[in-house]
């Protein structure tokens, strides 16, 4: 806990100026710690949170007093109800070690809209255990802009990710079992593309060998992280149980000896996989520290998947609230692009406004300042780093949706640095709002909420995707690279080009593309920060996610199974003498 406070002070969100010199570095009172703030906040019973959005207690399956699943019968009972809510997307600049606070801003904005008298629902992704125990830590916001119970949400929550992992690995087991018992389908073991998964960063499992000891056909296999599984993508894009089972059945697991595709339904796996996912498919209801109802459901990564919460949660929220605030993972070049080109395309969603989040500290890093120098005023570095933010704003505007900028404030921000941001935003015709929701909750984001509500009500949004369905797959990849990454072109590996031709021949040419790329740069090189252009985007491989309904383009050295860092967050996580979890942040 003390380390977390020290980190907050170092990042500038806890002031140390009032301490005498001999106390600088000594932890300030515990209430400023994220976990303590959450535990000192009295939560509302989940049944009362449900009544705020018209849910009766009988429609909720409680997982303790403060979290619940919404009965699927209730969800399906609203099938014919119109989606009258305004959808607000929160995205960000390219992430840096300084942090941007996208989830915190999403929560703060939702709380601010609620304070302003708007019936509001927040829709977030579920945290993955891999990042929680890796570099990132928890993903439930921070300070007074959190969803709760934060420790339960960050760990096992309601078991959704375990169900997704089990469904994925059931399919793997059924594939190998089919081959073991005679291989009636003629599956070529060397052409099996379906991989096992687990919800943890474990680089040692990237490549494995299965079938040893006379336990089947010996072949190379490997693990991805669960959030990269196509089952996760399907889970988040399916509309109902029937759609879920159909999509699962359409998963391509490999090829036969005659080169034809084999699907999950061919090994009779889809119905059992659906059974494993039945309860998980029901959206989860929790609350912010200020009592704003929040759906947290599904959690694909945005650098290797499509980075959005479930369609069923978002669509349901739009039927229950006037404003629905959601987020897309990492920077707008990844999460927002996929939210708009994949999720909105498939679900028919039309966002009314997009908020791009940044911090002065992160802009300085994009301007070339080292992390240990971020507390010093540097107007020129902010000005240089603004190129990254401006590009993200310009990119989301290409989708026909009005954009706003939210600056997640730190105590080290100076007026001169803020003036530069105001000037840059004014020059491109967008408003910049300096928000203090971490320290003040919804009260710290009221001007942002007022502007968002006004923009959403203006009717100026005319949403459009960045490319049409009928465009060739290679050209869709090229369009994203040129329009969003500002690349000169793509370098499509010959083997990847042949796969794209095969996908089109098999009838999948109409699908959107899901770019798997580093989150840290517009390029495939994570060290190239700022706003580089004229580069070449390398596409080393492509994968067909026929069930999810998109084609994945693997750009550069992106990994679908991350590893833990030299000093993972797991070193600091534990249970104290009172049985409470500590170290999540």
Q: Phi, psi (5° rounding) for residue 292?
A: -75, 125
Q: Annotated catalytic residue: which of 261, 330, 550, 585?
A: 330
What span, in angstroms and rounded, lies between the C-alpha atoms of 183 and 215? 14
* Active-site residue, from 98, 233, 264, 302: 302
Residue 136 bears catalytic tag = yes
Ranges of beta strands (E only) in 51-189 are 60-62, 68-70, 86-92, 120-124, 141-142, 145-148
Structural tokens at position 332: 């707008």
Taking the C-alpha atoms of residue 368 and residue 364, their distance in angstroms, rounded to an integer, is: 6
Q: What are phi and psi of 241, to 5 degrees?
A: -65, -40
**Distance between CA atoms of 168 and 305, rounded to whole angstroms?**
15
Task: Measure the CA angle with vertex 247, ends 243 and 251; round to 5°.
Answer: 170
What's the half-sphere exposure (Cβ side, CA atoms, 13 Å) at 525? 10
Which is the catalytic residue, given 410, 503, 550, 585?
410
Residues 6 or more apart whose Cβ sits within 8 Å of residue 183 = none
Spatial CB neighbours of 527, under 8 Å, sequence gap ≥ 6: 520, 521
Catalytic residue of the set 52, 102, 319, 361: 102
If residue 262 lies in a helix (H) or strand (E), which one and from where to where?
A: strand 261-263
User: Is 125 designated active site?
Assistant: yes
- Cβ contacts of residue 578 below 8 Å, gap of 6+? none
Q: Structure tokens of 459?
A: 């009717």
Annotated catalytic, 486?
A: no
Active site residue 102: yes
From 7, 39, 62, 136, the catalytic residue? 136
Q: Is 281 a catalytic residue?
A: no
Place of tokens 């909105």: 344
- Which of 103, 104, 120, 140 is an active site residue? 104
Tokens of 435: 């928000």
Closest CA to 192 of 271, 254, 114: 254
Helix, strand or coil, per DSSP, at residue 198? strand
CB-CB contact of 194 with 223 (8 Å): no
Q: Which two tokens stand for residue 261?
A: 């595709």
Residue 467 CA to residue 477 CA, distance in Å, equals: 10
Asked if residue 486 lies in contact with residue 391, where contact means CB atoms within 8 angstroms, the answer is yes
Task: Indicate which residue of 295, 438, 550, 585 is catalytic.
Answer: 438
Look up 104 and say whether it is catalytic: yes
Annotated active-site residue in 67, 69, 125, 486: 125
569 as an active site residue: the answer is no
| CA–CA gap between residue 424 and residue 531 (Å, rounded) | 15
Active site residue 330: yes
Which structure tokens are listed for 188?
Answer: 């070529």
**Structure token digits, residue 414:** 């100076």
User: What are the catalytic residues?
Assistant: 102, 104, 125, 136, 302, 330, 410, 438
């Amino acid at each position: 806990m003390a380390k977390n406070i020290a980190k907050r002070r170092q990042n500038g969100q806890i002031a140390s100026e009032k301490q005498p010199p001999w106390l600088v570095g000594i932890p300030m009172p515990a209430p400023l710690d994220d976990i303590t703030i959450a535990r000192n906040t009295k939560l509302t019973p989940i049944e009362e949170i449900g009544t705020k959005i018209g849910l009766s207690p009988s429609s909720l399956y409680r997982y303790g007093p403060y979290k619940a699943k919404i009965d699927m019968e209730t969800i399906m009972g609203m099938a014919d109800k119109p989606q009258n809510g305004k959808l607000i997307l929160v995205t960000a600049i390219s992430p840096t070690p300084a942090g941007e606070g996208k989830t915190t801003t999403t929560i703060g904005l939702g709380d601010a809209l609620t304070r302003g008298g708007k019936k509001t629902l927040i829709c977030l992704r579920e945290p993955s255990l891999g990042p929680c125990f890796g570099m990132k830590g928890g993903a439930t916001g921070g300070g007074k802009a959190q969803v709760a119970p934060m420790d339960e949400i960050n760990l096992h929550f309601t078991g959704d990710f375990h169900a997704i992992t089990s469904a994925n690995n059931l399919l793997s087991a059924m594939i190998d079992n089919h081959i073991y018992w005679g291989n009636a389908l003629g599956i070529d073991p060397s052409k099996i593309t379906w991989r096992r998964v687990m919800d943890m960063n474990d680089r040692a499992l990237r490549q494995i060998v299965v079938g040893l000891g006379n336990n089947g056909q010996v072949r190379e296999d490997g693990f991805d992280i669960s959030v990269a599984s196509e089952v996760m993508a399907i889970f988040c894009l399916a509309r109902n149980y029937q759609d879920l089972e159909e999509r699962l059945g359409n998963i391509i697991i490999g090829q036969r000896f005659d080169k034809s595709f084999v699907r999950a339904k061919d090994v009779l796996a889809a119905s059992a996989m659906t059974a494993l996912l039945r309860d998980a498919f029901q959206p989860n209801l929790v609350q912010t520290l200020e009592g704003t109802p929040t759906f947290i459901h599904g959690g694909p990564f945005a650098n290797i998947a499509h980075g959005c919460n479930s369609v069923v949660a978002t669509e349901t929220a739009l039927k229950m609230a006037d404003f629905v605030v959601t987020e897309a993972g990492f920077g707008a070049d990844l999460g927002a692009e996929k939210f708009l080109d994949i999720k909105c395309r498939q679900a028919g969603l039309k966002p009314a406004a997009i908020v791009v989040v940044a911090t002065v500290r992160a802009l300085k890093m994009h301007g070339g300042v080292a992390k240990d120098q971020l507390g010093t005023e540097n107007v020129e570095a902010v000005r240089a780093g603004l190129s990254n933010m401006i590009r993200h704003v310009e990119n989301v505007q290409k989708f026909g949706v009005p954009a706003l900028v939210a600056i997640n404030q730190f105590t080290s921000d100076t007026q001169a640095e803020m003036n530069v941001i105001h000037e840059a935003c004014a020059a491109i015709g967008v408003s910049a709002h300096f928000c203090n929701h971490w320290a003040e909750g919804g009260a710290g984001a009221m001007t942002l909420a007022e502007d968002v509500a006004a923009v959403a009500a203006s009717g100026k949004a005319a949403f459009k995707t960045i490319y049409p369905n009928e465009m060739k797959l290679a050209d869709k990849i090229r369009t994203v690279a040129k329009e969003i990454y500002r690349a000169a072109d793509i370098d499509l590996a010959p083997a990847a080009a042949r796969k794209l031709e095969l996908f089109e021949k098999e009838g999948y040419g109409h699908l959107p593309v899901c770019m798997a790329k580093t989150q840290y740069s517009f390029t495939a090189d994570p060290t190239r920060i700022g706003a580089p252009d004229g580069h070449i985007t390398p596409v080393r491989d492509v994968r067909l996610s026929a069930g999810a309904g998109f084609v994945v383009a693997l750009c550069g050295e992106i990994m679908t199974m991350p590893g833990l860092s030299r000093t993972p967050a797991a070193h600091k996580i534990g249970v104290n003498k009172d049985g409470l979890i500590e170290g999540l942040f």
